[in-house]
């Protein structure tokens, strides 16, 4: 069983839609939760970062963590074609370089 499970999609939505991207995990030791965005032929870039249960908002993006259910989500409001990318969740367990576990990514396309 993988440490982090993420639906690969692809996910296609019309412009202006609300997008929900999700990851589940099995290890309750994960402490920090991140979302990366990766455009085609580019490296992943850090989008959102949180370390507690609840919601964190940044513009059109909201990261949600439910530690009791071992479930994290990224919501995108008023989605734009420029949001078309692959979104990867990443979870941090404790300390050390081997402590970061990535989901496989969900490919999102926002159709104008």
List residues near another protein by CB under 8 A.
8, 32, 34, 41-46, 49, 88, 90, 92, 94-100, 102-105
| 57 contact partners, CB below 8 Å, separation of at least 6 | none
Of 22 and 99, which has the nearer Cβ to another protein?
Answer: 99
Of 18 and 51, which has the nearer Cβ to another protein?
Answer: 51
What's the CA angle centered on 48, arms 46 and 49, to 5 degrees?
100
We find the least distance from the C-beta atom of residue 104 to another protein, in angstroms, to be 4
Phi, then psi, of 2 in degrees rounded to 5: -70, 150
- Bridge pairing between strands 71-76 and 61-66: antiparallel
Task: State how far the Cα of 64 lies from the Cα of 38, in Å rounded to an integer.
Answer: 20
We find the least distance from the C-beta atom of residue 30 to another protein, in angstroms, to be 12
Of 17 and 61, which has the nearer Cβ to another protein?
Answer: 61
Of 4 and 110, which has the nearer Cβ to another protein?
Answer: 4
């Amino acid at each position: 069983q993988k440490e982090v499970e993420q639906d690969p999609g692809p996910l296609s939505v019309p412009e202006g839609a609300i997008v929900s991207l999700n990851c589940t995990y099995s290890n309750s030791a994960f402490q920090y939760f991140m979302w990366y965005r990766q455009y085609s032929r580019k490296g992943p870039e850090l989008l959102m970062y949180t370390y507690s249960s609840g919601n964190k908002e940044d513009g059109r993006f909201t990261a949600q963590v439910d530690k009791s259910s071992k479930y994290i989500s990224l919501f995108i409001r008023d989605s734009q074609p420029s949001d078309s990318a692959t979104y990867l969740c990443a979870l941090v367990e404790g300390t050390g370089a081997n402590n970061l576990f990535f989901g496989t990514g969900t490919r999102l396309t926002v159709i104008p």
